[in-house]
Amino acid sequence: MKILPGSTLGMLGGGQLGRMFTVAARTMGYEVVVLDPDKESLAGKLATTHLHADYSDQTALDQMAKSCDVVTTEFENVPASILETLAKNSPVRPSAQALSITQDRIHEKSFLKDNGFPTAAFAIIHSLEELNEQISSIGAPAILKVSRFGYDGKGQFSIKNEAETEQAWQTLQGEACVLEQRVPLDIELSVVLARGFNGEVVTYPVAENIHEGGILDTSVVPARIDAVLEGKVISMAKDIASALDYVGVMAVEFFISDGQLLVNEIAPRPHNSGHYTLDACVTNQFEQQVRAVCGLPLGDTTLLSPVVMINMLGDIWHDGKEPKWHKLLDHSNVKLHLYGKREARPGRKMGHFNVLASNIEDALKLAENIKQQLSEAE
């Protein structure tokens, strides 16, 4: 059954991803209810209703269940049990089952391994003894990652040699972890896709990603890879979505290591590396999220122009001063997206910009020049 404009969509989470979803949904004629404990919720400010409450608040959940025709999520850290509760009264997409796998690194890595998807060597760690045992097997360098609630390099510890295991374990406060082999990287890639509840799948062009300090810095689209590798990446991403019986928009991150294709992570939501779609594709990833969760035909994902996306962190706000926006806005082929966050802090995602050009080389050159100019202090 299609959920049509005039209906009410529920969003768990109210950050920038929820904000961009809300903009897309409101533009298409839907009402939006956002549940977010942050009183300054970015999405809540644009929604029809902002339920300012904890995700586990039963009164807020009851209100959402009664008022929403379908519920979706902004990020993967909403407890799956909450989705199970909401699903008793409203469709929830993606499902609690899919989210329970992708929100926990142990479950996610086990799912990938059990379904035959290649990953870097890993081990599940519950104790310092297990860590000491597995580091000698997997080898250093390696990365120890908390099983839940880690993102953008947070909740991770790079182990350069076996002597650093105790420090790593104490730094991550003895939580259940995944130990991953640090593999040499040829290139990092990602695919954003959408899957409908009827099994229909559409994929966006493969993005080539460059990270700095564990945070995405630049996405280059189309990725500078050959057609054979592109086909393998897209096919594997589709297979992962099908194996999860996923409904909605999701992203799959890949490593290419010594020519081998490895799955890094699954993100059960629109993705930072898909922000280029806001300006460079027929259907952006947030409209696509609306379409997928509402049971509408999925939108055309055709790339209209080569594009480079640059993530803007709070680091470029020097001493509280606004960046030199004219350095960006003087270019007619550059599109600025700010998220409405009041306080700029180092490492905080404040916005992004997309550079569209007839070829990747020109787009990348201009993007790097603008990035440098915005980052320069007075």
Which pLDDT belongs to residue 370? 97
Q: Report the distance separating Cα 284 and Cα 147, nearest Å.
A: 31
Which pLDDT belongs to residue 149? 67
Instruction: Encode pLDDT of 41-94 as tens digits.
Output: 999 999 999 999 999 999 999 999 999 999 999 988 888 889 999 999 999 999
User: Is pLDDT above 90 for 321?
Assistant: no
Q: Report the distance separating Cα 14 and Cα 168, nearest Å.
A: 32
Query: Which band of pLDDT confidence, cut at 50, 70 and 90, is reported for residue 157?
Result: confident
User: Is pLDDT above 90 for 169?
Assistant: no
Query: Which band of pLDDT confidence, cut at 50, 70 and 90, is reported for residue 154?
Result: low
Q: Which two tokens stand for residue 172?
A: 């991550």
Which pLDDT belongs to residue 287? 98
Q: Report the distance separating Cα 335 and Cα 356, nearest Å.
A: 8
Could you tell me which of 297, 291, 243 has the C-alpha nearest to residue 266? 243
Q: In the block, which residue shows the tokens 């509760």? A: 85
**Span 88-112, average pLDDT:** 94
Which pLDDT belongs to residue 151? 57
User: Is pLDDT above 60 for 152?
Assistant: no
Could you tell me which of 283, 118, 108 has the C-alpha nearest to residue 202? 283
175 against 277, higher pLDDT = 277
Which pLDDT belongs to residue 204? 98
Q: Report the distance separating Cα 105 and Cα 179, nearest Å.
A: 10
**Span 176-201, average pLDDT:** 95
165 against 150, higher pLDDT = 165
Could you tell me which of 236, 232, 246, 360 has the C-alpha nearest to residue 303? 360
Instruction: Encode pLDDT of 252-296 as tens digits.
Output: 999 999 999 999 999 999 999 999 999 999 999 999 999 999 999
Which domains does the chain possess? 8-92 (3.40.50.20), 121-181 (3.30.1490.20), 187-375 (3.30.470.20)
What's the whole-number average pLDDT of the chain? 94
**Percent of the chain at pLDDT above 70?**
98
Q: Report the distance separating Cα 296 and Cα 2, nearest Å.
A: 6
Q: Which two tokens stand for residue 71?
A: 């519920």
Question: Other CB atoms closer than 10 Å to residue 218's CB: what's the count?
Answer: 20
Q: In the block, which residue shows the tokens 């005039």? A: 6
Could you tell me which of 40, 26, 35, 67 has the C-alpha nearest to residue 53? 35
Phi, psi of 242 (to 5 degrees): -70, -40
Which pLDDT belongs to residue 248? 97
Which pLDDT belongs to residue 331? 98
**Percent of the chain at pLDDT above 90?**
81
